[in-house]
Chain A
Amino acid sequence: MKILVCISHVPDTTSKINFSDNNTKFDTNGVQFVINPNDEFGLTRAMWFKEKQGAHVTVVNVGGAETEPTMRKALAIGADAAIRVNTAATDGFSVAKQLANVINNGGFDLVIAGRESIDYNGGMVPGMIAGLISANFVSNCISLEVDGTSAKAVREIDGGKETVSTSLPLVIGGQKGLVEESDLRIPNMRGIMMARKKPLNVVEPIDTNAETTSVSFEKPIPKGAVTLVSPDNLDELVSLLHNEAKVI
């Protein structure tokens, strides 16, 4: 089985979010970048398929050279090869088209992407890839087993979960549950050394149109100070929620 894991290079979850160039660009000053958490759960599941079922795992990213340390980390975790599509990831649809092109050229059976990236939160790339390459698709995937060309997956739905049967070629939008937090791997020295020798192929992008354009960013209006209510006067809290906030 040939697996492609799509990796977004995103600000660490603890990052302070600021913008530059008149609020049109994300300010990367002092920001640490990591593998998108939803993608890392998928990558770790892919390692399981590699070790137990002999899968070959390639990781891919659409982005500039600045994303390469993140890709090397994915190789150090255990991916066999990496591909970087050499263009800025400007909008979800274009990224999906670039990735669909990589998949069509590489003949992958299973594509594991994260449910959404934690920066733009578009949540559209996995589904669009599936649509573009006419593969089966399971979103919000919290469990995945593959046996030959058959697959069984569990999808998180509002208020529960749904078990589905499907077949390869398959695209999933993964999230926590594919593996647990405690299963995530920190690259060891041997992995880091080996990652240096693994291939990281840079491919040039295909032409795409920008279906959507990011115009600018805004930060939420800073909150006013909290109104403290004494634990001995909870009637006041009920009254504030009813009369002032009007939420009960």
Chain B
Amino acid sequence: MSVLVYTESEQGTFKKTALEVASYAKAVAKQLNTTVTAVAINTEDTSALGNYGVDKVLSISNSQLDTFNAKTYADVLKQAAENESAKVVIVSSSADSKYLAPLLAVGLNAGYASNVVETPSNTSPFTVKRTAFTNKAFEITQINTNVKIIGVSNNSFGLVENNANASAEDFSPSISESGVTVQSVDKAADKVTIADAEIVVSAGRGLKGPENWGMIEELADVLGAATACSKPVSDLGWRPHSEHVGQTGKPVAANLYIAIGISGAIQHLAGINASKVKVVINTDAEAPFFKAADYGVVGDAFEVVPQLIEKLKAFKAQQ
């Protein structure tokens, strides 16, 4: 009857989103008067989950699961959910979790609500709040099935500490065949991704050309942030598509979003709206982004950004 949570790891370490979904699972378990069981795949040390309220860990160690595969992983989670008689399964909003969740929903015949931003407002009927219309609105959704799957929106709940045992138990599910085989993975190892980032530094056409991105990357470095860009910039090929944020690009739900030389088209604002604090730096005081931002600087990016980098370096040095 416990709440099951899939805690993703990378190279044996839990991702921040894993600790966030564990925190969320604990809050739901409290509402339902039950415990939290996490599923951890190829993660040797699972004790960190105890700090976030996980009572029990189904620890799976299997070299066939070294590479993520949505179908195989969904099947593993299905077996874990059945093993625990879980009525609620919680996943994150990472690309991998969003990939496997619909397959798991079919496997468990479960209703699935994605992009959920709060704990359930009611557990009977089971009611959650999620973003819709690309962050221009929220939808209150009722999940009617016996087993429910919740996809938690990144950075919406945060990390909440709760001491628990996180007692690890070996779990050996059967590994199913998948018709999709990973040939190669192309991923920058040392870069913060937009999905995982707490701070995102984003720039637009106001930067005038791709050769001017050095200061954007430096600002991101100082803040430990991910870099992003507006749609015109990716269409012009100044930056890769993977950095395009907005309605048809990636959604951003960061704690801090800094927009530099981006005017703020409605599609762009929709994509970044779930971010908590927004800062805009733009020469045009009439740019629509100023209506959506918390803090604004009317000024030339080529003067403001280098100064801001120096101020932030000084600030970081004092911390």
A interface vs B, CB < 8 Å? 11, 13-14, 17, 19, 37-38, 91-93, 96, 118-128, 130-132, 136-140, 142, 152, 155-167, 175-177, 180-182, 209-220, 223-224, 226-231, 234-235, 237-238, 240-242, 245, 247-248
Contacts and interface: CB of A to CB of B under 8 A. Distances in A.
B174 interface: no
Nearest to A131: B106
B169 interface: no
Given A121-B134, A237-B279, A247-B255, A226 B140 contact: no
6 contacts: A121-B133, A127-B102, A158-B195, A163-B186, A164-B180, A176-B244
A230 to B, nearest CB: 8
Contact of B137 (A162, A176, A181, A219): A219
Contact of B267 (A14, A140, A230, A247): A14
B175 interface: no
Interface residues of B, number: 91
Given A140-B99, A211-B110, A218-B140, A121 B294 contact: no
Interface string B285-306: 0000011111111111001100
Given A164-B182, A166-B179, A242-B315, A121 B291 contact: no
Contacts of B242: 156, 159-161
A229 B299 CA distance: 10
Given A136-B180, A158-B94, A231-B303, A238 B144 contact: no
B63 interface: no
Contacts of A214: 139-141
Given A228-B298, A245-B277, A140 B247 contact: no
Contact of B295 (A215, A218, A226): A226
Given A121-B132, A227-B294, A237 B181 contact: no
A227 B290 CA distance: 9
Given A119-B133, A123-B114, A215 B127 contact: yes
A120 B143 CA distance: 15
Contact of B142 (A19, A121, A160, A213): A213
B111 interface: yes
A176 B248 contact: yes
Chain B contact residues, majority secondary structure: mixed
Chain A contact residues, majority secondary structure: mixed
Interface in B118-136: 127, 129, 131-136
A241 B135 CA distance: 23
A234 B114 contact: no
Interface in B182-215: 182-188, 191, 193-196, 198-199
B48 interface: no
A13 B279 contact: no
A238 B255 contact: no
B295 A237 contact: yes
B2 interface: no
Interface in B304-319: 304, 307-308, 311-312, 315
Contacts of B41: none
Contacts of B266: 13-14
B276 interface: yes
A136 to B, nearest CB: 4
Which 10 pairs from chain A and chain B are nearest by CB?
Answer: A127-B102, A131-B106, A160-B187, A231-B299, A159-B193, A211-B111, A136-B179, A247-B256, A124-B102, A158-B195
Given A162-B185, A218-B129, 5 more contacts: A121-B134, A131-B105, A159-B191, A165-B181, A166-B179
A160 B191 CA distance: 10
Contacts of A212: 111-113, 141-144
A121 B267 CA distance: 14
Contact of A126 (B102, B115, B145, B194): B102
Contacts of A241: 256, 277, 279, 295
B98 interface: yes
Contacts of B304: 231, 234
Contacts of B84: none
B249 interface: yes
A218 B114 contact: no
Contact of B307 (A93, A181, A217, A234): A234
Nearest to A168: B179
